[in-house]
Amino acid sequence: MYKLVVPCLVLCLSSLSYAADISNGKALSAQCSACHGKDGLSRDPETPNLAGLSSLYIEKALVDYKKGVRQDRRMSLMAQGLSKSQIKDLAAWYSSFEVTVKVPEI
Ligand code: HEC
């Protein structure tokens, strides 16, 4: 029994996990940069920055737009065209940006 269960577990788990391909994320981000900026910093006050957000947050946001849990006329359309693995790749790309912050002195 044990001999059967272990290979099955290994197979099942490896098909569940997908290692994000960050260079594919970079290539895919060409379609995002018009709004979110090439550096992940948006120049449009209605569009959020993506640079340095956590990959979990980016992934959740994109999945929510895709499912319709979160709605925005631009993002709902963008997310429709993305597969799960493309979402992971994009999340890996934008979350890898280094961001420095200067907190105002008041
Ligand atoms: C036409 C402009 C446009 C394009 C192109 C676009 N976005 Fe967006 N994106 C927006 C706007 C506007 C919002 C804010 C929407 C809202 O209020 O929910 C947003 C929100 C997001 C968020 C949520 C950020 C947060 O702080 O909650 C993510 C993640 C995101 N976009 C990723 C992407 C990715 C990845 C692409 C490329 C595949 C992309 N966007 C392409 C305009 C755009």
Whether the CB of 92 sits within 6 Å of ligand 1 = no
Counting from 1 in the atom list of ligand 1, the atom nearest the Cα of 71 is 18
Domains assigned to the chain: 21-37+55-98 (1.10.760)
Contact indicator for 61, 36 with CB cutoff of 8 Å = no
- Which of 42, 11, 24 lies closest to 86, judged by CA? 24
Whether the CB of 79 sits within 6 Å of ligand 1 = no
Q: Supply 48's token pair.
A: 């959020």
Position 12 scores a pLDDT of 46
Cα separation, 105 vs 33, whole angstroms = 32
Position 8 scores a pLDDT of 47
Counting from 1 in the atom list of ligand 1, the atom nearest the Cα of 81 is 38
Instruction: Calculate how far, in angstroms, residue 104's C-alpha sits from the geometric centre of ligand 1.
Output: 27
Position 62 scores a pLDDT of 98
Position 18 scores a pLDDT of 84
Series of mean pLDDT values for 10-residue runs along the chain (106 residues):
56 64 98 98 97 98 98 97 98 98 96
